[in-house]
A = this chain, B = another copy of it.
Amino acid sequence: MLAEIITIGREILTGRTLDTNSNWLAKELTDLGIKVKRIVVVDDVVEEISKEILNAIKYGVRLIITTGGLGPTFDDKTMEGVSLATGRKLVLNRTALKMVEEKYKKLYEEGAVDTPELTEERKKMAYLPDGAQPIPNPVGAAPGMMITVSGCTIVSLPGVPKEMKEMFSSYVKPVIRQIVEREGKRRILLEKIIPSGSKDESLVAAVVKKVREKYPEVYIKSLPERFGKEVNIQVRFTAEGDSKEEVEALINAAIEEFKRLMKEDGDLTNGKEYTN
């Protein structure tokens, strides 16, 4: 299953804020057996948001997660962007309104805001694309939303990392897991990292290339780390398949081939073994 992450907010594009949400989400989705095809950061502009969503759908993405742009201010444009892309009008969602209402009541009782009143700006956060399901926000005020249109599920979460993570873990992850399981496309993804035995990435690359030709299903990547003049090259073998056994056997075969070729090409290592 292909997914995309869309980060919405000018503060990322000016470099004011480092986007750590995408990285966190990418890890979560990868762990769920989903392939993240692209991560995009766009401005708080309705048409830009919509364009990226439509592009993703066009390229066969089945899950889009947006972060940011859900708050009460005029430049929080995510819901409008989703609305434009999906053709679903923004409507006042009763459940979302209740969430917002209760949140401000609580904040008022705690003395955090001056009035529990549902101002126009607060109400704005309860307008969701028609047919969307609101996602509760246990940390902040703005609800998230989830909607499935033409086979693609769009999930919108706030940009505040604490809110985003809590909402993803509690409400989104279980649903995604269901979708993945229902589709029966949950693929086993395994990887192993081994020392290459050489210090020269370009030479290791030559052997990796040969192994790739024999095992095209295995993704092999050399990982050089430089410590002053010392270079430590490890090699990562990644593969996916339907069962753990099958994938493990495939990776092991590629590793054996790699070791064999490294030994054979004596001139590559000059007999020197690299140790950490």
Residues of A within 8 A of B (CB): 7, 10, 12-20, 22-30, 35-43, 48, 71-75, 104, 110-115, 119-122, 141, 198-203, 205-206, 208-209, 212, 219, 221-222, 229-231, 267-270, 272
B23 touches A205 (CB 8 A): no
The distance in angstroms between the C-alpha atoms of A40 and B30, with both chains bound, is 18
C-alpha spacing A231/B111, complex, angstroms: 10
**CA–CA, A41 to B6, complex, Å?**
10
Select A202's contact among B10, B18, B121, beta carbons within 8 Å: B121
Are A113 and B23 within 8 A (Cβ)? Answer: no
Which of these, B15, B25, B39, B270, contacts A27 with CB under 8 Å? B15
Q: Bound state CA distance, A91 and B38, in angstroms?
A: 29
Q: Which 7 A-B pairs have the closest CB atoms?
A: A15-B27, A15-B26, A39-B41, A121-B202, A72-B202, A121-B205, A113-B200
How far is the CB of A134 from the nearest CB of chain B, in Å? 17
**Are B37 and A15 in contact, CB atoms less than 8 angstroms apart?**
no
- A269 contacts B114, C-beta separation under 8 Å: yes
Inter-chain contact B119/A72, CB cutoff 8 Å? no
9 A-B contact pairs sorted by A residue (CB < 8 Å): A14-B26, A15-B25, A15-B26, A16-B27, A39-B41, A40-B40, A74-B209, A113-B199, A113-B231
- CA of A41 to CA of B230, assembled, Å: 30
A114 and B270 form a contact (CB under 8 A):
yes
Contact B203 A114 (CB under 8 A): yes
A112 and B209 contacting across the interface, CB-CB below 8 Å: no
Given contacts A73-B201, A111-B229, contact A39 B12 (CB under 8 A): yes
- Taking CB atoms, residues of chain B closer than 8 Å to A221 are 73, 75
B272 A114 Cβ-Cβ under 8 A: yes
